Amino acid sequence: MEKFEQIFMHINGEAEKREKEQEQTYLDGLLSALEDTLDGVFSWQVEGATKEDMRKAIQIAILKGMRKGSQPNHQMTPDTLGLLVSYFVEQFFEKELQNRTISVLDLAVGTGNLLYTIMNTQDGKMQATGIEVDELLIRLAAATGDLIEQQVTLYRQDALDNLLVDPVDAIVCDLPVGYYPNEEVALDYELCATEGMGFAHYLFIEQAIRYTKDGGYLFFLIPASLFEGEEAKKLHQYLKANAWIQAVIQLPETLFSAKAHEKSILILQKQHKELRAPREVLLAKVPNMSNKQALAMFFEKVQMWKESK
């Protein structure tokens, strides 16, 4: 059995036990098992397990818990997407990552899976902040962050309100999609709707740009239809004035259960007086992950674009 499977066995067994004995949900049982692990109340050991083993084991347990419950906002960014975003973060910050720590902000950190997938691949080179409105999810993110020993500061709040965060080098965010109910807060945004509720995903993009340093990069998982529809004109105008689109990467349909759930990766750079827009926007489609040759060609295309930038 692999190490992450052994860890999963321990925490899953404990979560199930607590679910039955204490009449909790599986996710609550899992959370208390993780918090008790940190406090030394519940102990288990898997010799030689890495941070990635730990993250993967917790990820599988959280997925199991989310499938059992049916909270619509309980969505975790899966590894395949996290690893692709991680690859792009590495490409855009190649030089910086060799010399210094970079600051990263995830405005919708959820369980932390996306953020920790990226942080584990760049171990020790990132200092991160995460914002999340859901209490259970942010506590899961906090316990996981402590267990895998990543430097992260978490705030439980509405990410569209004012934040106590200095502008960062990089934003990573799997955008929540839908309408944003707080019309008063939305009034502070150029992208607020002319009438009624506006799109949360638009406002998140605007908020992310506000909290990015000039010249910094933003990596979003966006709904594939983000730039479609009448409302999208406003988004285009806003982006044109504040950011440079670096890349739009389509993801394979096979990764999503339905057309409506398909996502793409959008990479922006916040404008900077002394920098210029890329000569060409990288438009590419990630092939089916099982096609190794096509995947190699995709990465080659990215490298060629990077060299010509």
Residues engaged in binding ligand SAM (CB under 6 A)? 73, 75-77, 108, 110-111, 113-114, 131-134, 137, 158-160, 174, 176, 200
DSSP type of residue 190: T
**Minimum distance between the CB of residue 294 and ligand SAM, rounded to whole angstroms?**
27
If the CB atoms of residues 6 and 188 are measured against ligand SAM, the closer one turns out to be 188
**How many CB atoms are closer than 10 A to CB 124?**
10
**DSSP strands (E only) in the chain:** 102-106, 126-132, 152-156, 168-174, 179-180, 198-199, 212-223, 243-250, 263-270, 282-285
CA distance 17 to 19: 5
**Minimum distance between the CB of residue 157 and ligand SAM, rounded to whole angstroms?**
7
If the CB atoms of residues 32 and 113 are measured against ligand SAM, the closer one turns out to be 113
Tokens describing residue 211: 């909290």
Residue 81 CA, chain-centre distance (Å), reads 9
Amino acid at 40: G
If the CB atoms of residues 53 and 174 are measured against ligand SAM, the closer one turns out to be 174
If the CB atoms of residues 77 and 212 are measured against ligand SAM, the closer one turns out to be 77
**Minimum distance between the CB of residue 220 and ligand SAM, rounded to whole angstroms?**
11
**Minimum distance between the CB of residue 134 and ligand SAM, rounded to whole angstroms?**
4
**Minimum distance between the CB of residue 293 and ligand SAM, rounded to whole angstroms?**
30
If the CB atoms of residues 222 and 286 are measured against ligand SAM, the closer one turns out to be 222
**Minimum distance between the CB of residue 238 and ligand SAM, rounded to whole angstroms?**
19
**How many CB atoms are closer than 10 A to CB 258?**
7
Which residue has tokens 């506006």?
A: 198
Nearest residue relative to ligand SAM (C-beta): 110
Contact predicate 152/145, CB 8 Å? yes
If the CB atoms of residues 46 and 76 are measured against ligand SAM, the closer one turns out to be 76
Per-residue burial over 58-85, b if 16 or more Cβ lie within 10 Å, else e, is bbbbbebbbeeeeeeebbbbebebbebb
If the CB atoms of residues 181 and 229 are measured against ligand SAM, the closer one turns out to be 181
Start-to-end CA distance of the chain, whole Å, equals 45
**Minimum distance between the CB of residue 171 and ligand SAM, rounded to whole angstroms?**
12
